């Protein structure tokens, strides 16, 4: 661990397998001059390879000890280091066309993804490594067990692709589950128009809060059968059967009412 004791409170599992480092960097394919932002550089396995390809990286690191090591290791012209919590970081302050990369701790994966979704206008793309189960949920299709709130909220803003699985042995300490790398590309002008983002989020959350409930019962406090029928949706259906565009259409119908 190069003298660093992994901290459980930060969910630290450091990628150490050079084969997977190279696979991830090859998938990102950073170019000189691009604005690469790394979340949680840790022991800098990815950072080294990213700097080699892009020339410069902006990194957000919450661990003060690791931040100090990174400052000693890299000159400012190679690494701009932001010491703090990525969940509180304003990605938009860095400008546009950001290429975000991160081996995300499992305990902050969903909040971090929602944080990035809120900044999608400033992103070129996102490559993150997460628990495989989370990546499966991100890329799921309607009617499958993995399809849920996270799926709909992300796919309303991104094209999501699972790239490859990374086994526990590629990390130190090894996690107890497989990880996977996902690519998220903002849909931009292809994204569905959501008239009331807050309402959309509430409807999606309620639809999956109790998966066995029909939409008529799950969404009772937000809309009624008239709204659903008006949106071309069967009130007796369950949320997991609706496509992303179905949720958008329903939310927009309610918003107009």
Q: What is the pLDDT of residues 23-62, one digit of tens each?
A: 999 999 999 999 999 999 989 999 999 999 999 999 999 9
Looking at the chain, the domain(s) classified CATH 3.40.50.150 span 8-189
Looking at the chain, the domain(s) classified CATH 1.10.8.100 span 197-256
Residue 166 has pLDDT above 80, yes or no: yes
Return mean pLDDT, the chain: 94
Distances (CA, A) of 185 to 59, 109, 164, 221: 20, 17, 16, 34
Residue 197 has pLDDT above 80, yes or no: yes
So what's the pLDDT on residue 8? 52
Instruction: Summarize the confidence of residues 109-119 as an average pLDDT.
Output: 95
Q: Where does the pLDDT of residue 14 fall: very low under 50, low under 70, confident under 90, or very high at 90 and above?
A: confident
3-state secondary structure of 252: helix
Q: Where does the pLDDT of residue 13 fall: very low under 50, low under 70, confident under 90, or very high at 90 and above?
A: confident
So what's the pLDDT on residue 49? 96
3-state secondary structure of 7: coil
The model's pTM is 0.93
So what's the pLDDT on residue 1? 39
The residues, any chain, with a CB within 8 Å of residue 1's CB and separated by 6 or more, are 14, 43, 172
Residue 10 has pLDDT above 70, yes or no: no
Contact 133, 125 (CB under 8 A): no
What is the Cα–Cα distance from 138 to 155, expressed in whole angstroms? 8
Looking at the chain, the whole-number percentage of residues with pLDDT higher than 70 is 95
So what's the pLDDT on residue 9? 47
- State the architecture of 197-256 in CATH terms: Orthogonal Bundle (1.10)
What is the Cα–Cα distance from 84 to 68, expressed in whole angstroms? 12
Residue 152 has pLDDT above 50, yes or no: yes
Q: Where does the pLDDT of residue 133 fall: very low under 50, low under 70, confident under 90, or very high at 90 and above?
A: very high
So what's the pLDDT on residue 105? 84
So what's the pLDDT on residue 2? 55
CATH code of the region 8-189: 3.40.50.150
């Amino acid at each position: 661990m190069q003298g660093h004791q992994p901290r459980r409170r930060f969910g630290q599992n450091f990628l150490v397998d050079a084969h997977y480092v190279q696979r991830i960097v090859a998938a990102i394919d950073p170019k000189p001059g691009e604005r690469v932002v790394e979340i949680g550089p840790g022991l800098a396995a990815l950072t080294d390879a990213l700097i080699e390809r892009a020339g410069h990286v902006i990194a957000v690191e919450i661990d003060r000890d690791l931040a100090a090591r990174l400052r000693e290791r890299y000159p400012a012209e190679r690494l701009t280091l932001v010491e703090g919590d990525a969940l509180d970081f304003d990605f938009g302050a860095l400008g546009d066309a950001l290429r975000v990369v991160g081996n995300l701790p499992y305990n902050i994966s969903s909040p971090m993804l929602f944080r990035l979704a809120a900044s999608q206008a400033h992103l070129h793309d996102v490559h993150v490594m997460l628990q495989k189960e989370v990546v499966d949920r991100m890329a799921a299709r309607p009617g499958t067990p993995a399809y849920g709130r996270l799926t709909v909220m992300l796919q309303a803003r991104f094209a999501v692709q699972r790239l490859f699985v990374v086994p526990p042995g590629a990390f130190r300490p090894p996690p107890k589950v497989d990880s996977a790398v996902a690519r998220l590309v903002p849909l931009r002008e292809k994204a569905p128009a959501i008239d009331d983002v807050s309402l959309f989020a509430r409807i999606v959350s309620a639809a999956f809060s109790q998966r066995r409930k029909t939409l008529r019962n799950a969404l009772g406090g937000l809309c009624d059968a008239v709204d659903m029928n008006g949106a071309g949706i069967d009130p007796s259906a369950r949320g997991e059967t609706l496509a992303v565009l179905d949720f958008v259409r329903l939310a927009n119908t309610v918003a107009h009412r």
